[in-house]
Amino acid sequence: MTSMSIQITAAARQRMQTFMSAHPQAAGVRFGVRKTGCSGYAYMVEIADSIAANDQVIEQDGVKLVIDEKSLPLVDGTEIDFARQGLNSSFVFRNPNVTGECGCGESFTINPAA
């Protein structure tokens, strides 16, 4: 399988490690996209209960990212960060594959060639 390039900032890694400490039985952190919203895709970050045969696992600084086969080409090159703004906090994704985002910021589009 080809080499994936996904970067996790220190803030995102710390947040993922907090998730994992609350779920010690988990296989890792699942990162991917799902079809949704007004533009097409939305990111998902959740606890991975298991690793499927077609998943790719990327381990970076002690965090295991589990990425499903369909999400792989859509997230390659993404930097995952975690930001706090006032009382809100969330993961922030810098994905070079994104060609547009919806007005509400909840979903994005990717060039069909990807």
Q: Which segments within the chain are labelled E, that is strand?
A: 7-8, 28-36, 40-48, 56-60, 63-67, 79-85, 88-94, 98-101, 108-110
Helix (H) or strand (E) holding 106: none
Closest CA to 55 of 36, 81, 30, 35: 30
Sketch out the chain's domains with CATH numbers. 7-110 (2.60.300.12)
The pLDDT score that the predictor gives to residue 49 is 93
pTM: 0.83
CB atoms within 10 A of CB 48: 22
The pLDDT score that the predictor gives to residue 29 is 95
User: What parts of the chain have a pLDDT lower than 70?
Assistant: 1-4, 37-39, 102-107, 111-114
The pLDDT score that the predictor gives to residue 37 is 61
